Amino acid sequence: MKSITQDYQNDKKVSSSIKSFFKKYKVSTALRTANAYKSKGIHVAVIFQYLFSLIFTNRSMYMNMLMGTHQAGFGKDTVYRFTNSIHINWIRFTTWLGAQVISESITGLTDDKRVNVLIVDDTLFERSSSKKVELLSKVYDHAKKAYKFGFRLLTLGWSDGNTFIPVNGCLLSTENSKNRINEAISLDKRSAGYTRRNLAQSKATAVVLELIKAAKKALIPASHVLFDTWFCSPSSLIAIKEMDYDVIAMAKKTPKMHYLYNGKMQPLTEIYKQNKKRRGKSRYLLSVEVVLKKDDKSIPARIVYVRNKKKRKDYLALITTDMNISEDEIIRIYGKRWDIEVFFKVCKSYLKLSKECNSLSYDAMTAHTAVVFTRYMMLAVENRQTSDLRTLGEIFYCITDEMSDISLIQAFHLLMQVFLDTITDKLSLTSEQLDQLLEAFMAALPKELKGRLLLCA
């Protein structure tokens, strides 16, 4: 028996929040911009909306088909053709949609003096139980200190310090062919699928620059780029500065990386030893100006040494190419980088990042990532516009409840209540007569239904 949805007049079972989001931010236009067109039959926006809504129904497409509740109007082959398409540019899709969300609902609500930033980080996209996934590679999990099968989901996001919007991302395999379990399939070099496979096998530093270029082309408003130690190198900082962005990053404490200070190339640790530290409870220990050099290029930078709260005798070093802001402002702006960690946590805990997609195709996994990014955008907008006191997890469960199915007993109870109310109005029966009629009806039911529906009476 097919389940009866709460909003049973809505055949597509789409909540008001999702419908409003798709309409306001022109998701169908974003798909067209990303070269997503239907070859025949179902419109691509309908398929994307179906995939987008699955997480809020607590059912997968497979379970819907198995239980006979699949009412989308198209089959699984249609979905597979859409997700496996090599022509859709998913980086362009999420970048365009993110720009729409930021311009329509966020920048207009904040002061012009607020510092907007781009944040770069990566997380593990695990596929440990798979061995035939396209471009599968060995990835080091820094949290568990072990190698696992999967990808690095390199993500570029935008934040104003209050709301985080994922802009674009790339599932990185590895540049080292020895660590790749499987190779990419052969494709037309003019297709978007070929381009993203090449990107997946490039260095992470080069991919980050491509993601930032896409954000800049979409006119996403930001003045600084934030990232952790893994991307911090003089060449990367100079490259981003040439793109008219300032950088605030955590610098590496390594003897292999040098900065020009007092006419001499020195590592962070040596610069720290040569200077007197600030005493007391100051927010930072030391601030020095250095020069970043790479080949024939050089730019000024400032290094701010901050006390490590976890190890009082240790320190952390922040480096910035913005020479016009104070040390306190550098520390405050860098604190916005934590927003991307919250994003990864929500995507993995609530939005089933990597768990919902079991496909072996690199295109399908990329499409799944774009769907997850879009889901998070909607939750972020809901959090911004309704109540900032609610967490994204609470909003997720509210939307899930809005789209959940009524159980068989609840549905039967509603039908019986309508039936009894109609009889009471039309026939003017007493309560005793209604009880007798109900008992006769229950007695006539098969034993299997009688036992399960007795509570409804």
Alpha helices per DSSP H over 151-304: 192-200, 204-217, 234-241, 268-273
Give the model's confidence band at 401: pLDDT under 50 very low, under 70 low, under 90 confident, else very high: low
Quick: pLDDT tens for 210-252: 999 999 999 999 999 999 998 899 999 999 999 999 999 999 9
Quick: pLDDT tens for 314-341: 899 999 999 999 999 999 999 999 999 9
147-176: string of b/e by CB count within 10 Å (b at 16+)? eebbbbbbbbbbbbeebbbbbbbbbbbbee
* The pLDDT of residue 392: 64
Mean pLDDT of 42-56: 91
CA 30 to CA 94: how far, in whole Å? 8
* The pLDDT of residue 438: 76
Q: For tokens 């927010």, name the residue.
A: 283
Mean pLDDT of 150-163: 94
Could you say which DSSP state residue 114 is in?
Answer: S
H and E: helices and strands count for the chain:
17, 13
* The pLDDT of residue 195: 96
Q: For tokens 């809505």, name the residue.
A: 10
- How distant, in Å, are the alpha carbons of 7, 437, 450 from that of 457? 24, 11, 10
* The pLDDT of residue 10: 40
Quick: pLDDT tens for 271-307: 999 999 888 778 899 999 999 998 889 999 999 999 8
Assigned token pair, 191? 């297709």
* The pLDDT of residue 144: 81
Assigned token pair, 251? 């610098």
Architecture of domain 223-336: Alpha-Beta Complex (3.90)
* The pLDDT of residue 424: 72
* The pLDDT of residue 409: 56
Burial level of 446, CB count in 10 A (0-12/13-18/19+)?
exposed
Nearest to 26 by CA among 108, 89, 103, 118: 103
* The pLDDT of residue 389: 52
Give the model's confidence band at 4: pLDDT under 50 very low, under 70 low, under 90 confident, else very high: very low
Mean pLDDT of 95-124: 89
Alpha helices per DSSP H over 25-177: 27-33, 44-53, 61-67, 76-83, 90-101
Angle between helices 234-241 and 204-217 (to 10 degrees): 10
Residue 352 has pLDDT above 70, yes or no: yes
Burial level of 221, CB count in 10 A (0-12/13-18/19+)?
middle
Question: φ, ψ for residue 440 (rounded to 5)?
Answer: -65, -40
Tell whether the torsion through CA atoms of 198, 202, 204 and 210 is positive or negative: negative
Question: φ, ψ for residue 288 (rounded to 5)?
Answer: -135, 155
* Model pTM above 0.85: no
Mean pLDDT of 59-64: 77
Residue 420 has pLDDT above 90, yes or no: no
Q: Amino acid letter at 445?
A: L
Angle between helices 338-349 and 392-403 (to 10 degrees): 30
CA 52 to CA 12: how far, in whole Å? 12
Of the ranges 200-204, 391-395, 412-416, which is most confident?
Answer: 200-204
Quick: pLDDT tens for 31-47: 999 999 887 888 999 99
| Cβ pair 3, 406 in contact under 8 A | yes
